A = this chain, B = another copy of it.
């Protein structure tokens, strides 16, 4: 079963053909890596020179070789000369965005990938290094953002030009890597499906995440929107700074009650990335003429690996609605998935144009949570999956040593706070998952699977944490 089981097969843009060299994965950020000289490759002449001097160039790529935990995405050093075909450009990637779909892909619950092994990554930002035949709308040296179904977590990518978008002046590569997926998603949900208008109200789940942050900023471009945002209490200051009128701690409180205290009739739009029973709650929270936009199933991600219990539960609790329920309540239910819009490039381009205008006017600005090096991809995924992030998690192929720390780590150099929180959360959640869920819902095999997986996850997480802590303390 996959999260989007009904998706039709579609032609795929293949990553550049090349020989693959499997490198040992490393979590040590200071371990030396082969890194091509990017400065020398900034012009075609220089690139040609370099190519002559060094026939076999190499580049880093983050490859998913098997479904499973954080360790299944491995750093590889690829060998070869990716050359753009007609209509394509070669882009040297400077920063990549991490998205929920990447996490689901790793677990094997995402149907928009070709068969493994495959380089992950739906978005990145970088510099055009070479033009394929017939390309006239891009130039070598252009800074571009790139959107694709997969294959963008690499130092070098070849890509059709209509998948690239020129970055405006003043936008950093990190911002570029944090822009497309989150803002396109939030924009299309709020404006194409949600039809957001002045004086309305919106409930944004995971309001501190990448899409959540983008959505809050976009709501602020419309007059007098009441914004409800759920996130753990520690993020509420950030939510308020970003513009959330009513931050709600979904852990300690019933968010439905909290919303009704302010808006007894409910809200006009609910953005639902959670799935399962939260989708039913969302539907009931809509005002007449309200719109529920479901755009994910984050509730599926309850551990490192595909959780059969969570899948079974999600399947069992899957939201379903009839014509009569919709008519009787004057409500709309919409499903959104950017990964299934990859053939709608004209539509996407028009949305990006609008978004870039808003960016230039200073109305929207990506918020970067943490930058991780390619080597730290496991930590990056954990940061997002455990919902520790406030804003976007970004991967950098070529991280300079001094930048190799998160904002949190800078404040708390030994990582004591994070360590404690992570351990507590991981153990608590795993135990809860195994006991609570298994007791309540499981039958036979599913029960057994859940317990075993949870036990294994908990043990492994604890071991990995302990190892990492030792390493961190050594550094």
Contact = CB atoms under 8 A, between A and B. Distances in A.
A52 interface: no
A323 B326 contact: no
Task: Give the most central of A195, A291, A327: most B CB within 10 Å.
Answer: A327
A6 interface: yes
B347 A337 contact: no
B332 A334 contact: yes
A289 interface: yes
A3 B324 contact: yes
A157 interface: no
Interface in A286-340: 288-289, 291, 294-297, 318-337, 340
B6 A279 contact: no
A45 interface: no
A276 to B, nearest CB: 9
Contacts of A318: 322-324
A357 B278 CA distance: 41
Interface string A194-230: 0100000000000000000000000000000000000
A294 B326 contact: yes
Contact of A328 (B7, B331, B332): B7
A100 interface: no
A5 B326 CA distance: 11
Contact of A330 (B289, B296, B336): B336
**Is chain A's binding surface mostly helix, strand, loop or mixed?**
mixed
Contacts of A295: 327
Nearest to A334: B332
A340 B288 contact: yes
Contacts of A344: 288-289
A234 to B, nearest CB: 30
Contact of A319 (B191, B192, B323, B335): B323
Interface string A1-35: 00111110000000000000000000000000000
Interface string A443-455: 0000000000000
A171 interface: no
Contacts of A322: 318-320
Contacts of A336: 327, 330
A6 B291 CA distance: 18
Given A323-B320, A331-B335, A332-B333, A341 B5 contact: no
A188 interface: yes
A359 interface: no
Given A193-B289, A195-B192, A289-B188, A330 B324 contact: no
Interface string A429-464: 000000000000000000000000000000000000
A314 to B, nearest CB: 9
A324 B279 contact: no
Given A6-B324, A295-B327, A327-B336, 17 more contacts: A192-B289, A275-B323, A289-B341, A291-B334, A294-B323, A294-B327, A323-B333, A323-B335, A326-B335, A328-B337, A329-B340, A330-B340, A331-B334, A331-B335, A332-B332, A332-B334, A333-B334
5 contacts: A188-B289, A288-B347, A289-B347, A294-B323, A294-B327
